[in-house]
Amino acid sequence: MNTLERSKGFVIEPQAQVSVPVRGTEDRFPVHRIYCVGRNYAAHAVEMGHDPDKEPPFFFQKSPSNLVTDGQDFPYPQVTQDVHHEIELVVALSSGGRDIPVERALDCVYGYAVGLDMTRRDIQAELKKMSRPWDAAKSFEHSAPCSELVPATEIGHPSAGAIWLKINGETRQEGDLDQLIWKTPEVIAHLSSLFELRAGDLIMTGTPSGVGPVLRGDALHGFVAGVGDLHCTVA
Ligand code: MN
């Protein structure tokens, strides 16, 4: 590309804005950050060897460029033999701020989606052992498949109902949104005490029990009642 074609004012070509489609429209939701909640269902905390009663919420991030949208495949990533699925309710924010009170937190929500927090579990186990950050386990290319967004003006704010993941038609994860330890408004309030939340932020709210490995060729089908379906193939 010659200097005339290059975007004015940038020394390299800037990245395109990452976005998620809005169901039933041509519109897209531009993504700012992706926050994730760790161990937010008691049964999953227990399966990972933790006591769910003693923990305040904790958070990590994925990069917006990790998103997989529009029915694209999840390519099996490098340097791992143990990639796990984590089906999650995704919250999309239309406004933000700091120190948002729980009672006003849902006013910040644009809508919801079904997401997968794909995790290189073998790498995560090593990082945990060494008390190192989780980025290499959580924030790798294509690690955040996400369905279309549905606006809260259409579906309200789901706080109960089934959440599950099937692989090749077989149920692997099964839970209910009412089992979330930290509910959506509490998650937003906690996060906003640590970070300045912004319009465009996505929050992956945690996964129910039953996490496990995926294999090349697997057809993943995630579902959250009232929100919809997510289909993704492991390539
Ligand atoms: Mn997760």
- Domains (range + CATH), the chain: 30-233 (3.90.850.10)
Cα of 122 vs centre of ligand 1, distance in Å, is 15
- Kindly report the average pLDDT of the chain as a whole number: 95
Cα of 35 vs centre of ligand 1, distance in Å, is 10
Going by pLDDT thresholds of 50, 70 and 90, the confidence category of residue 45 is confident
pLDDT surpasses 60 at 137 = yes
Cα of 1 vs centre of ligand 1, distance in Å, is 40
Cα of 7 vs centre of ligand 1, distance in Å, is 37
54-67 pLDDT per residue, tens: 678 999 999 999 99
**Tokens 């259409």, located at residue:** 154
User: What pLDDT is attached to residue 56?
Assistant: 85
Cα of 192 vs centre of ligand 1, distance in Å, is 19
Cα of 39 vs centre of ligand 1, distance in Å, is 7
Looking at residues 137-158, what average pLDDT do you find? 98
Cα of 38 vs centre of ligand 1, distance in Å, is 6
Cα of 187 vs centre of ligand 1, distance in Å, is 14
pLDDT surpasses 80 at 173 = yes
Looking at residues 131-159, what average pLDDT do you find? 98
pLDDT surpasses 60 at 1 = no
Cα of 70 vs centre of ligand 1, distance in Å, is 21
Cα of 88 vs centre of ligand 1, distance in Å, is 7
Q: Which residues surround ligand 1, an ion (CB under 5 A)?
A: 86, 117, 207
